[in-house]
């Protein structure tokens, strides 16, 4: 072997030699090694100097080899071998091509340490704050218009703000939270020009004791106002009018605001008969803001259906709203807050419904003409106190709600004119309390919420029903009391794993009273009971350091303690104490930067509530009755999902695909009996003890590609789903299978800075199969919108919706809606002209297949509208 290598080396040397002779070049090569270990030294700087001048230089490679070449020249040649951790060596060599091996002796590193300037200082970032001043353009009005444009921020049509997919949990103005969850009052009324900066604060920790100590994943928004805005009264006045056919439209708004250092105030007064409901403007977005009553689940105050259409298209309304809000900063640690809202929503519309019920392999049809009228008054007031010092955190919010509803649902069917009136009023009170106290080693967290609500007389009065002489009524009353207390904590087990535990206690006490009175006969329910749910949720998390895989497993357990009393029949009292486990598992695996797989699976075991024991019938409309089984509902919901992500960022292509499977096992099966009298069709719904399973599988695909060269984004979404279930109709168990398919392509293109066009389309198919029964419905919709901005102050826009829906087999209806508008802004004045339903489309129809039955709806649309609104900003 060694012989062979020597021969080869000789051959190489020969080649080098002849080559350099031919090129008239001097080549010096060799190996540099460590004088003690004899191992090659890499990175040695080798310089060839001829008469003290560098003529060639190089470094040794991983084998310690170097190779210098230079044109033949005469003179004294020295070779210089240098390395940062070896003593340098100078060799005087003959000026000719040769091989020169050297060995260097190592030394301790000698380096003259110098620092002539300090590096840029690190910015500490306990709170990360983001700002959007530069997103404001001339067309913007409220600060919401600007927030909408902030990347990463999503504002939905209600005005709810989410940042990086997470709902904001605080909306502050100059660091003070005046409005709680109903922040649209600020986001839609404060002018963009009065705001200096909008800050998004990630990892927001409100509790001073925990700042810098406890991680929070909350996001808060803070508005920083301009100096000028803080010193004076702000406000807007809007006045508008127009026509909808022969009807006159009006619109009026008056808003006043001040934001001083210690006191903030927003007051507003609005009235109109156009646009979306005004009660939405004081809607709270925080989950635990709402007070509910047990009767909400038993009797419905809305007997009509709502179409997939903006309410302004078909509703006539008359709304009034006023809201007063103030926050006072008592000192550095204490704030007080008062909020009060009053809303009056009045609306009405006209529609027709054809309901086709499946009875004994036949369809029974009823046609109804409906004219619902709604009226709801509601009042809400909240007082809030917060003490937030470095030693203790305490807050308490007490809210009072009162509302009343007076709704009328006129129905004409089979020549009968039926009047159904729903009236109710509700009073409720809620208290939320939080205490956090931390000392050196321990931390006490306590959160408590108490709700009480009373709905004493919910009344449905029905007159003119076929087969019934005179009036009959369904009355109901409910009282609900609930309290929720919770806490959680976690431990890091290692750098890759974490164990967490959360505990909560929930107690609900409800009282129900119902009475169905028809002449002398009455059917009653009187129930009361307590449901206590104690939850312990341990969870284990494991994630590899490089995040290639992650895994979590949880085993929440709910201990249920129930005591439900039936005051009419003590034999039907029900007591139950049982734990329910709901295991869940989640994980992900990243194959490469292009592909990622995620999965989750779990079984959620849950039980029903006191309403399961409301066994005597409740009339829910003139022809519908519902009665519960008297059996505690239990459901076991198995769900699994697999998601696969594939992307090619360089080509701007993104896609994901998912498959889900669900199986819900229930102990109660819904049973419907359709009574076909000579003049009327009635539907009675009840539940029977019969174990049954509903299964569904769905597949979803999503892909998008950006063509930057033509400013166009193309995306495609498609879903396919099948499900199976069972229902009892006329005492016969019937299997129902349904299939759904939909595909929606979408194109957005920016032709120039002034002109933007988008088009989206949807095609869907839904099919239901039962014995002797198959229905399939097709529908498609197309939306085109164009906006043109010739100058900054002026926006011209137009929209077209086209729908083609199958109303009954092979019977299609086409509907088109055109809208357009112009908006112009100049300094403090603004004007907008809106034109809606330009082609005066009169009807909107669609059909829904609901298990065995088919419902076809027709809504009468509002005629062509023209509206001119002037706005003056203070």
Nearer CB in complex with another protein: 92/109: 109
C-beta contacts of 132-141 below 8 A and 24+ residues apart? 132/197, 132/198, 133/196, 133/197, 133/198, 136/192, 136/193, 137/792, 138/792, 138/793, 138/825, 139/789, 139/792, 139/793, 139/795, 139/823, 139/825, 140/192, 141/191, 141/192, 141/825, 141/830, 141/871
Nearer CB in complex with another protein: 200/817: 200
**The two structure tokens encoding residue 583:** 């295991």
Number of other residues whose CB lies within 10 A of the CB of residue 417: 11
Distance CA 774, CA 518 (A): 39
**Residue 500 binding another protein, by CB under 8 A:** yes
Nearer CB in complex with another protein: 646/824: 646
- According to CB under 8 A, which residues from 158 to 217 bind another protein? 163-165, 197, 200, 202, 213-215, 217
**Residue 129 binding another protein, by CB under 8 A:** yes
Cβ(704)–Cβ(716) under 8 Å?
yes
Nearer CB in complex with another protein: 131/808: 131
DSSP 127: S
Distance CA 373, CA 378 (A): 17
- According to CB under 8 A, which residues from 460 to 499 bind another protein? 485-492, 494-498
Nearer CB in complex with another protein: 171/314: 171
3-state DSSP assignment of residue 193: helix
**Residue 704 binding another protein, by CB under 8 A:** yes
Residue from 131, 258, 673, 724 binding another protein (CB under 8 A): 131
With CB under 8 A as the contact rule, which of the stretches 336-344, 371-379, 525-533, 804-812 interacts with another protein?
A: 525-533
Distance CA 725, CA 662 (A): 12
Q: Classify residue 170 as exposed, middle or buried by CB count within 10 Å of its CB (0-12, 13-18, 19+).
A: middle
**Residue 716 binding another protein, by CB under 8 A:** no
DSSP 9: H
**The two structure tokens encoding residue 633:** 């509902």
- According to CB under 8 A, which residues from 589 to 628 bind another protein? 590, 593-594
Place of tokens 């749910």: 533
Residue from 16, 654, 802, 870 binding another protein (CB under 8 A): 654
**Residue 577 binding another protein, by CB under 8 A:** yes
With CB under 8 A as the contact rule, which of the stretches 305-313, 464-472, 555-563, 847-855 interacts with another protein?
A: 555-563
Task: Provide the minimum distance between the beta carbon of 49 and another protein in the complex, in angstroms, as a whole number.
Answer: 10
Nearer CB in complex with another protein: 594/812: 594
Task: Provide the minimum distance between the beta carbon of 496 and another protein in the complex, in angstroms, as a whole number.
Answer: 5
**Dihedral sign (CA 295, 298, 303, 305):** positive
Q: Would you say how long the chain is, in residues?
A: 874
Task: Provide the minimum distance between the beta carbon of 89 and another protein in the complex, in angstroms, as a whole number.
Answer: 12
**Residue 503 binding another protein, by CB under 8 A:** yes
Looking at the DSSP bridge assignments, the partners of residue 378 are 343, 403
**Residue 90 binding another protein, by CB under 8 A:** no
Judged by CB under 8 A, how many residues of this single chain contact another protein?
116
- According to CB under 8 A, which residues from 406 to 465 bind another protein? 438, 441-446
**Dihedral sign (CA 656, 661, 664, 670):** positive
Nearer CB in complex with another protein: 257/512: 512
DSSP 429: E
Task: Provide the minimum distance between the beta carbon of 583 and another protein in the complex, in angstroms, as a whole number.
Answer: 20
**The two structure tokens encoding residue 635:** 């459901």
Residue from 3, 94, 134, 521 binding another protein (CB under 8 A): 134
Listing DSSP states for 341-375 in one string gives EEEEEEEE--EEEEEEEEETTEEEEEEEEEEEEEE
**Residue 650 binding another protein, by CB under 8 A:** yes
Residue from 17, 34, 47, 606 binding another protein (CB under 8 A): 47
**Residue 128 binding another protein, by CB under 8 A:** yes
Residue from 62, 227, 261, 827 binding another protein (CB under 8 A): 62
Task: Provide the minimum distance between the beta carbon of 561 and another protein in the complex, in angstroms, as a whole number.
Answer: 4
- According to CB under 8 A, which residues from 254 to 293 bind another protein? none
Residue from 403, 713, 749, 808 binding another protein (CB under 8 A): 713
With CB under 8 A as the contact rule, which of the stretches 296-304, 449-457, 703-711, 801-809 interacts with another protein?
A: 703-711
**Residue 152 binding another protein, by CB under 8 A:** yes
Task: Provide the minimum distance between the beta carbon of 698 and another protein in the complex, in angstroms, as a whole number.
Answer: 22
Distance CA 624, CA 853 (A): 14
**Residue 677 binding another protein, by CB under 8 A:** no
**The two structure tokens encoding residue 686:** 């009840």
Gyration radius of the chain's alpha carbons = 38
What binding mask, one character per residue, do residues 630-649 give for another protein by CB under 8 A, x or -? -----------------x-x
**Residue 308 binding another protein, by CB under 8 A:** no
Q: Classify residue 275 as exposed, middle or buried by CB count within 10 Å of its CB (0-12, 13-18, 19+).
A: middle
């Amino acid at each position: 072997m060694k012989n062979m290598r020597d021969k080869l080396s000789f051959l190489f040397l020969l080649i080098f030699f002849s080559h350099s002779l031919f090129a008239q070049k001097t080549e010096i090569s060799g190996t540099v090694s460590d004088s003690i270990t004899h191992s090659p030294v890499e990175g040695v700087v080798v310089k060839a100097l001829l008469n003290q001048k560098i003529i060639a230089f190089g470094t040794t490679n991983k084998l310690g080899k170097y190779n210098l070449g230079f044109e033949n020249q005469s003179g004294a040649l020295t070779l210089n071998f240098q390395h940062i951790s070896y003593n340098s060596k100078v060799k005087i060599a003959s000026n000719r091509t040769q091989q020169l091996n050297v060995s260097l002796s190592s030394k301790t590193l000698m380096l003259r340490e110098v620092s002539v300037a300090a590096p840029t200082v690190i910015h500490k970032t306990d709170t990360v704050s983001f700002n959007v001043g530069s997103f404001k353009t001339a067309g913007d009005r409220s600060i919401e218009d600007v927030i909408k444009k902030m990347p990463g921020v999503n504002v939905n049509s209600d005005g709810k703000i989410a940042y990086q997919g997470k709902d904001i949990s605080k909306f502050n103005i100059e660091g003070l939270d005046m409005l709680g969850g109903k922040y649209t009052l600020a986001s839609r009324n404060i002018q963009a020009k009065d705001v200096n900066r909008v800050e998004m604060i990630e990892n927001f920790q409100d509790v001073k004791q925990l700042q810098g100590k406890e991680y929070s994943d909350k996001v808060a928004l803070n508005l920083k106002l301009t100096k000028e805005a803080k010193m004076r009264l702000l406000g807007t006045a809007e006045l508008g009018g127009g026509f909808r056919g022969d009807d006159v439209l009006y619109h009026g708004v008056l808003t006043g605001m001040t934001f001083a250092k210690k006191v903030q105030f927003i007051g507003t007064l609005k009235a109109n008969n156009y646009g979306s409901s005004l009660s939405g403007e004081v809607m709270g977005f925080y989950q635990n803001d709402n007070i509910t009553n047990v009767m909400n689940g038993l009797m419905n105050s809305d007997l009509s259906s709502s179409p997939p259409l903006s309410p302004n298209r078909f509703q006539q309304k008359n709304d009034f709203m006023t809201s007063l809000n103030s926050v006072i900063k008592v000192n550095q640690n204490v704030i007080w807050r008062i909020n009060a809202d009053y809303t009056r929503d009045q609306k009405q519309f006209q529609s027709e419904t054809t309901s086709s019920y499946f009875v004994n392999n036949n369809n029974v049809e009823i046609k109804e003409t409906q004219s619902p009228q709604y009226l709801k008054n509601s009042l809400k007031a909240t007082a809030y106190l917060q003490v937030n010092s470095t030693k203790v955190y305490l807050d308490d919010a007490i809210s009072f709600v009162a509302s009343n509803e007076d709704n009328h649902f006129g129905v004409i069917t089979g020549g009968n004119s039926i009047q159904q009136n729903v009236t109710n009023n509700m009073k409720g009170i809620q208290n939320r309390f939080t205490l956090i106290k931390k000392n050196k080693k321990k931390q006490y967290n306590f959160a408590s919420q108490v709700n009480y609500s009373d709905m004493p007389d919910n009344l449905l009065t029905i007159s003119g029903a076929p087969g019934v002489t005179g009036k009959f009524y369904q009355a109901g009353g409910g009282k609900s009391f609930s309290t929720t207390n919770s806490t959680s904590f976690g431990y890091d087990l290692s750098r890759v794993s974490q164990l967490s535990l959360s505990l909560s206690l929930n107690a609900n006490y409800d009282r129900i009273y119902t009475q169905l009175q028809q002449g002398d006969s009455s059917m009653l329910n009187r129930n009361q009971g307590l449901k206590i749910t104690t939850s312990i949720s341990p969870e284990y998390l494991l994630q590899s350091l490089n995040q290639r895989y992650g895994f979590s497993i949880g085993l929440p357990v709910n201990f249920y303690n129930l005591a439900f009393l039936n005051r009419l029949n003590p034999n039907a009292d029900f007591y139950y104490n049982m734990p329910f486990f709901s295991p869940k598992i989640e994980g992900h695996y990243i194959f490469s930067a292009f592909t990622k797989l995620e999965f989750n699976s779990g079984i959620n075991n849950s039980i029903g509530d006191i309403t399961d024991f409301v066994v005597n019938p409740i009339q829910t409309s003139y022809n519908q009755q519902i009665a519960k089984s008297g059996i505690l509902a239990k459901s076991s919901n198995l769900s699994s999902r697999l998601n696969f992500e594939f992307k090619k960022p360089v080509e701007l292509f993104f896609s994901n695909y998912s498959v889900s499977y669900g199986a819900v096992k229930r102990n109660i099966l819904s049973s419907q009996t359709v009574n076909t009298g000579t003049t009327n069709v009635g539907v009675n719904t009840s539940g029977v003890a019969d174990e049954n399973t509903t299964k569904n599988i769905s597949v979803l695909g999503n892909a998008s590609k950006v063509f930057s060269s033509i400013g166009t984004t193309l995306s495609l979404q498609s879903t396919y789903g099948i499900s199976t279930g069972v229902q009892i109709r006329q005492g016969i168990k019937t299997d129902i299978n349904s299939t759904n398919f939909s595909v929606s392509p979408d194109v957005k293109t920016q032709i120039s800075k002034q002109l933007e066009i988008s088009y989206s389309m949807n095609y869907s198919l839904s099919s239901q199969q039962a014995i002797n029964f198959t229905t399939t419905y097709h529908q498609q919709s197309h939306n085109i919108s164009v906006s043109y901005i010739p100058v900054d102050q002026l926006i011209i826009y137009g929209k077209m919706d086209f729908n083609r829906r199958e109303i009954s087999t092979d019977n299609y209806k086409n509907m088109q809606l055109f809208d357009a508008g112009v908006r112009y802004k100049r300094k403090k004045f603004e004007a907008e002209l809106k034109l809606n339903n330009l082609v005066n489309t009169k009807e909107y129809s669609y059909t829904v297949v609901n298990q065995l039955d088919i419902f076809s709806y027709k809504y009468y649309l509002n005629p062509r509208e023209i509206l001119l609104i002037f706005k003056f900003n203070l």
